[in-house]
Amino acid sequence: MSTIKEIQAKTILTRSKIPGADYCLNPYVGCLHGCRYCYASFMQKFTDHSEPWGEFVDVKTNAAELLEKELKRINKGSVIISSVTDPYQSIEAEHRLTRRCLEILKDTGLSVSILTKSPLVLRDIDLFREFKDLEVGLTISTDSEDIRKLFEPAAPPIELRIKALKQLHSEGIRTYAFIAPLLPMNPERLARRLFPHVDMVLIDRMNYTYKTRMIYNAPYQKARLKVRASGKRYNKSNFPCIGKLRPLVGVLDKKHGLEKWLDRGFTEEIIQRLRRVLEEKEVVLC
Ligand code: SF4
């Protein structure tokens, strides 16, 4: 059972440290997708929630009003929606904060980049068409639905995300796939599934391994449980009980050899294999 709370935010646009984006716009605090690797869980300290990350969301009910006010002092640049939440997580269907913010942004001349894991983004295609400079990205970190279930348990299936990219692209919207964090996958198969539907692909490896190391190491865990004890940033409240995941982890380890996916040399090879297929298809890579 998730906790959804309506709040009044103090600001809505924040300066961005993400390359290519001047501002971040996050209509929600928290994210019901609850990805196990999510770096944004640090946002919990700005809330009064004690629930685990993935089980609460604060809805910034005044997001659109704040945006209108803050845009009075900004007339150029780029905005990413979102950086620490998913703007099209399921509650957006009811609250429509992302849509209301987009309705305001479309007349500003700011360039807008949307990043989500949800096919709910298709609801706003009518609005996207009204922008001069807008792109929509879907995060697709693996081609394996079992791996997706392990790392992104409450996020929409991979197939639905690819279908969303396909529809957006076919409707003339500029699209990108965000392959990050790189999860166990068949790189050639993923690249071939993506390339017809995207203008650009961004790739990044798993940078926050302190959150997922227990999963990768679980099959070898007896000797390695020290990792848990020594991981200073390990936060039990943000981490699922590995006990429940053990059967799934065991099956996936046999298939993918999970631990090697923590090795930088190995993941670099995977990135090169993705790049080779995508470059052949003339997809722009970042
Ligand atoms: S969808 Fe993004 S913000 Fe939401 S839990 Fe997953 S990684 Fe975090």
Within 10 Å of residue 78's Cβ, how many Cβ atoms? Answer: 16
The count of structural domains within the chain is: 1
More confident site: 175 or 245: 175
One-character DSSP codes across 95-162: H-HHHHHHHHHTTT--EEEEEES-GGGGGGHHHHTT-SSEEEEEE---S-HHHHHHHSTTSPPHHHHH
Query: What CATH number is associated with residue 183?
Result: 3.20.20.70
pTM above 0.85, yes or no: yes
Out of 119-123, 166-170, 220-224, 258-262, which region has the weakest mean confidence (pLDDT)? 220-224
Distance 286 CA to ligand 1 centre (A): 21
Q: Is the bond preceding 237 in cis, omega lying within 30 degrees of 0?
A: no
CA nearest ligand 1 atom 8, residue: 38
> Which ligand 1 atom sits nearest the alpha carbon of residue 116?
1
Say what the pLDDT of residue 75 is. Answer: 79
| Average pLDDT of the chain, as a whole number | 90
Strand partners, 200: 176, 284
Q: Is 30 a residue whose pLDDT tops 70?
A: yes
Distance from C-alpha of 135 to C-alpha of 178, rounded to nearest angstrom: 12
Q: How far is CA 234 from CA 4, 32, 69, 210, in A?
A: 26, 21, 39, 6
> Which ligand 1 atom sits nearest the alpha carbon of residue 85?
3
Cβ pair 79, 113 in contact under 8 A: yes
Residues touching ligand 1 (Cβ under 6 Å) are 31, 33-35, 38, 40, 85-86, 117, 155
Sheet of strand 13-15, all strands in order from the earlier edge strand to the far edge:
13-15, 23-25, 78-81, 111-116, 134-139, 174-179, 200-203, 284-285
Q: pLDDT, tens digit, for every residue of 74-93?
A: 878 999 999 999 999 999 99
Say what the pLDDT of residue 219 is. Answer: 66
CA nearest ligand 1 atom 6, residue: 35
Q: How confident is the model at residue 214 (pLDDT cuts 50, 70, 90)?
A: confident
Distance from C-alpha of 257 to C-alpha of 270, rounded to nearest angstrom: 14
Q: How confident is the model at residue 213 (pLDDT cuts 50, 70, 90)?
A: confident
β-pairing, 28-29 with 284-285? Answer: unpaired
**Type of residue numbered 283:** V
Q: How confident is the model at residue 274 (pLDDT cuts 50, 70, 90)?
A: very high
Percent of the chain with pLDDT over 70: 91
Q: What is the CA radius of gyration of the chain?
A: 19
Looking at the chain, list the stretches that DSSP marks H as alpha helix, in order from N- to C-terminal side.
Answer: 63-70, 92-95, 97-105, 125-128, 145-151, 158-170, 187-194, 213-217, 221-224, 226-230, 242-256, 264-280
Cβ pair 164, 126 in contact under 8 A: no
Q: How confident is the model at residue 245 (pLDDT cuts 50, 70, 90)?
A: confident
3-state secondary structure of 177: strand
Q: pLDDT, tens digit, for every residue of 102-158?
A: 999 999 989 999 999 999 999 999 999 999 999 999 999 999 999 999 999 999 999
> Which ligand 1 atom sits nearest the alpha carbon of residue 53?
5
Q: Is 236 a residue whose pLDDT tops 50?
A: no
82 burial (CB, 10 Å; 0-12 / 13-18 / 19+) is: buried
Of 204, 214, 145, residue with least CA distance to 178:
204
Length of the chain: 286
Say what the pLDDT of residue 242 is. Answer: 64
| Domain of 45, in residue numbers | 3-285
Q: Is 188 a residue whose pLDDT tops 90?
A: yes
Distance from C-alpha of 131 to C-alpha of 128, rounded to nearest angstrom: 6
